[in-house]
């Protein structure tokens, strides 16, 4: 399990954040984080890597303000090798 914490300046306000992630196995990772401030949110989710090239990340977005709705986020992840070839002079 890994953890992280820190501070950020968002819209002229100082905010703190904290998060954890845990690798369950070589395909599955669980994650959670929180950013302070009524205009920010906490998230809980996970990622699943189908292959070396394709994975999916999904999570629930939990707003800090009771005026906001809970949300869902889904990211499809495609990985490809990157090779930079410098231009000849």
How high is the pLDDT of residue 84?
78
Please name which of 42, 33, 37 lies closest in space to residue 71, comparing C-alpha atoms: 42
Q: Percentages helix, strand, coil for the chain, rounded to the nearest 5?
A: 0, 60, 40
What is the pLDDT tens value at each position of the chain, 89 positions in all?
Answer: 999 999 999 888 899 999 999 999 999 999 999 999 988 999 999 999 999 899 999 999 999 998 999 999 999 999 888 887 787 76
């Amino acid at each position: 399990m890994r953890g992280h914490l820190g501070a950020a300046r968002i819209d002229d306000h100082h905010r703190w954040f904290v998060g954890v992630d845990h690798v369950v196995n070589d395909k599955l990772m669980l994650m959670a984080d929180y950013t302070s401030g009524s205009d920010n949110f906490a998230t809980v989710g996970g990622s699943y890597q189908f292959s070396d090239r394709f994975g999916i990340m999904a999570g629930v977005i939990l707003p800090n303000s009771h005026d906001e709705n809970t949300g869902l986020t889904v990211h499809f992840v495609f990985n490809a090798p990157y090779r930079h070839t410098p231009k000849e002079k």
